Amino acid sequence: MIIIYAMMMFGVWSLIFPLSKIALQSAPPVFLTSMRMLLAGVVLLGFLLVKDKKQLKIGKKQIVPLLVLSLCSIYFANVFEFYSMQHLSPVKVCFIYGLSPFLAVFLSYLHFKEKITKKKVLGMAIGVIGMIPVFLLEEGTLKGFTFADVVMLGAVFFSVYGWILLRVIVKDNTFSPIYANGYSMLFGGAIALVHSFLVDTWAPVPIVDGKVFMTVGLVVLMTVLSNIICYNWYGYLLKRSTATLLSFCGLFSPIFASLTSYFLVGEPFSPIIFFSTTILLSGLFLIYQTELKQGYITATSSKA
């Protein structure tokens, strides 16, 4: 059932990409990040407050992990992503996130000393090859790889590292997913808000005139879908699986994003997405097989 739940989660999460594209037409990326994260943090911590006030207590040993999680998973990942969304299609942004499992393998080696075998290296090489058609999709030449792509790769890096930190936290039962996500979103949102005050034009808020209600509605919708539902759904699944296996399921996100972008923002649907996704899946399958043999993933976790 893990794979079924993960596929459902990424199907819901893929809605965020076209919705973000729409929201960016009326508000700057840093401001949107701050509003989403602050709202989500207040809601999640408010839930814990109602459930049990004792769960809100922060120990001295918890401050540093929460701040690092806030910077990586919330602030850098989301600010970089929203910046890239101004210049890239939702499908391309979603597909670049397909590099997540390959980064997860590399970061797991650095963080957990997990072995990188020749089979894993081959799988990652195939994955990189699979990315090339998508980078060429918008321009038809190598000029399709822009600074926005580099920033988006940075967003993926910080996102994956944040998930690895969250996995360590929830696996050790130091925090619950709601506790960790609630505080990291609140702290990350506060950092983004300060950033927004410094770089955005507040008159009185950095939202295009006449689009305040629409923007607020989109922020609330994205917060509920991504920050409230999917972030905690992911944290729940991390207790029963690995970041690599979940990223494996996430490779289908470009297909979901292609469909939602076509219906919501009129983005053209390209068969190249299916072609590149197939290549990526074949590369990750090699990594998945290797992790099964190494014992990082149990066979029962992979069954639908």
Gap between the Cα atoms of 71 and 87, Å rounded: 23
Which pTM value belongs to this model?
A: 0.76
Percent over 70 (pLDDT), the chain? 81
Q: Span 157-161, mean pLDDT?
A: 89
For residue 214, what pLDDT is reported?
94
Q: Span 141-150, mean pLDDT?
A: 71
Residue 198 has pLDDT above 90, yes or no: yes
Task: Note the pLDDT tens digit of each residue in 31-90.
Answer: 999 999 999 999 999 998 888 777 788 777 778 888 988 999 899 998 898 888 888 876
For residue 80, what pLDDT is reported?
92
| pLDDT mean across residues, the chain | 80
Task: Note the pLDDT tens digit of each residue in 77-128.
Answer: 988 988 888 888 766 777 787 777 778 777 777 776 667 778 777 877 787 7
Task: Note the pLDDT tens digit of each residue in 258-303.
Answer: 777 777 767 676 777 778 778 877 877 777 777 667 665 554 443 3
Q: In the chain, where are the structural domains located?
A: 2-302
pLDDT band, residue 228 (cuts 50/70/90)? confident
Higher pLDDT, 220 or 60: 220
208 torsion bin: left (phi>0), alpha (psi -120 to 50), beta (else): beta
Q: Residue 186 contacts by C-beta under 8 Å, 6 or more apart in sequence?
A: 37, 38, 41, 42, 45
Q: 131: how many CB neighbours lie within 10 A of its CB?
A: 21
For residue 300, what pLDDT is reported?
44
